């Protein structure tokens, strides 16, 4: 189709708006939007519209962020012995990284357990129509429920330590994975399954050489969703009852009314969450 360049009279016409290539215009609009948000933020911060310090200036938040990521304020004792050698010293690191490590470890374990269980159960349900008709409905309807209400039970079963947070993450991510896996299993072209059977593959070979490769996309999508909800489940559990982790840091900052620190932690968290999601998304396409 012939491209139409419509030159309409806009306020930006003075800047040669219409003559600019599209990518340039998009970039300018984005910069303008970000600038507008920053301006409004600073205006609210300066005006004192909300309570004192609820919306601190971005400069303060920036400074806090830098301090959060670089000020060594946590003592990390290292004491290791190998053979005749013994290494003992104290390392000082910014506390944030240690909390981040705790949260990432919890989410990773939750994703591993919930993901593998979800995969196994999903494959079984997808392969067997009887089991699917019997049980899949329960899982389908239980999926969109707020798992956080299970936290008291998880705490009773696993205590107040990281185990209960991992448990929260696990039950959160189990559902999207199992439903995606079951659906993905059913949507495999029947021809591929018959090819596998004609070569007399055993179950393990069928799973690794036929089922899993054919289901790569639905599984990755399920894991992506699972990652998102595992992250939320784990973090929310940390905010409710914990003394370590990123969730705890957020709550701690809130309780001490250290708003800049809360914003800084939230900011880093969002960047990581969005980044992780984008990475998995690229993996699904690659």
Partner 1 sequence: MPTADPILVVENIVKRFETPDGVLTAVEDVSFAVAPGEFLAVIGPSGCGKSTLFNVIGGLLDGYDGRVMVGGETVRGPHPSVGMIFQEESTFPWRTVIDNVAFPLEIAGMAKAERLEKARHFVEMVGLDGFERRYPAELSGGMRQRVSMARTLASEPKIMLMDEPFAALDEQTRLLLGDKVLQIQQDLKQTTLLITHNLTEAVQLSDRILVMTYRPGKTKRIVEIKLPRPRTSEIVGSDDFGRYVAQIWSDLREEASKGLKDDESRVARAGGKRR
Partner 2 sequence: MTTRASIGRQFVPVAFGIVCLLVFFVLVEALVRIGTINPFIVPLPSEIVLSFKRIVVEEQILPRFLLTCGEALMASLMLSVAGIALGVLLHRKRIVRLATETWIAAMASAPIVLMYPLFLVIFGRSAWTIIMIAFVAALPPVILKTLEGLSSTRPVLINVGRSFNLTPSQLYWKILFPSSLPTIFVGVRLGMIFALINIVGVEFLINFGGLGQLVNELSERYDLPGTYAAICFVIMVSVMFFIATERIERWLRPGA
**List of residues contacting partner 2 (CB under 8 A):** 22, 25-26, 29-30, 33, 50-51, 54, 130-135, 137-138, 141-142, 144-146, 148-153, 156-157, 228, 231-232, 235-236, 239-240, 247, 250-251, 253-254, 259, 262-263, 266, 269-270, 273-274, 277-278
Nearer to partner 1, 1 or 191 (CB): 1
Q: Which stretch binds partner 1 (CB under 8 A): 1-9, 99-107, 133-141, 146-154?
A: 1-9
Shortest distance (Å) from residue 4 CB to partner 1: 8
* Residue 278 site contact among partner 1, partner 2, none (CB < 5 to 8 Å, cut-off depends on kind): partner 2
Q: Which of 3, 6, 198, 255 binds partner 1 (CB under 8 A)?
A: 3
Residue placing its CB nearer to partner 1 in the complex, 3 or 190: 3
232 contacts which partner out of partner 1, partner 2, none, CB within 5 to 8 A by kind? partner 2
Q: Which of partner 2, partner 1, none has residue 231 at its interface (CB below 5 to 8 Å by kind)?
A: partner 2
- Residue with structure tokens 């003592």? 75
Enumerate binding residues for partner 1 (CB under 8 A).
1-3
């Amino acid at each position: 189709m012939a491209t139409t360049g419509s030159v309409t009279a806009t306020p930006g016409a003075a800047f040669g708006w219409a003559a600019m290539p599209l990518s340039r215009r998009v970039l300018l609009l984005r910069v303008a939007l970000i600038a507008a948000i920053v301006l409004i933020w600073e205006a609210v911060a300066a005006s004192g519209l909300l309570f004192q310090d609820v919306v601190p200036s971005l400069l303060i938040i920036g400074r806090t962020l830098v301090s959060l990521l670089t000020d060594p304020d946590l003592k990390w004792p290292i004491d290791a012995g190998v053979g005749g050698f013994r290494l003992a010293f104290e390392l000082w690191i910014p506390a944030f990284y240690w909390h981040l490590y705790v949260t990432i470890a919890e989410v990773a374990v939750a994703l591993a357990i919930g993901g593998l269980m979800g995969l196994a159960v999903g494959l079984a349900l997808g392969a067997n129509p009887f089991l699917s008709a019997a049980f899949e409905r329960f899982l389908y309807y239980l999926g969109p429920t707020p798992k956080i209400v299970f936290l008291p039970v998880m705490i009773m079963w696993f205590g107040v330590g990281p185990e209960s947070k991992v448990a929260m993450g696990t039950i959160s991510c189990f559902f999207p994975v199992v439903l995606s896996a079951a659906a993905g299993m059913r949507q495999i072209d029947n021809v591929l399954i018959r090819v596998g059977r004609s070569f007399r593959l055993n179950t393990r070979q069928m799973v690794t050489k036929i089922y899993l490769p054919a289901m790569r996309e639905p599984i990755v999508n399920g894991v992506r969703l699972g990652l998102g909800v595992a992250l939320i489940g784990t973090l929310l559990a940390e905010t409710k009852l914990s003394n370590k982790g990123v969730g705890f840091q957020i709550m701690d900052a809130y309780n001490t009314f250290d708003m800049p620190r809360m914003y800084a932690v939230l900011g880093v968290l969002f960047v990581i969450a969005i980044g992780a999601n984008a990475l998995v998304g690229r993996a699904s396409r690659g």
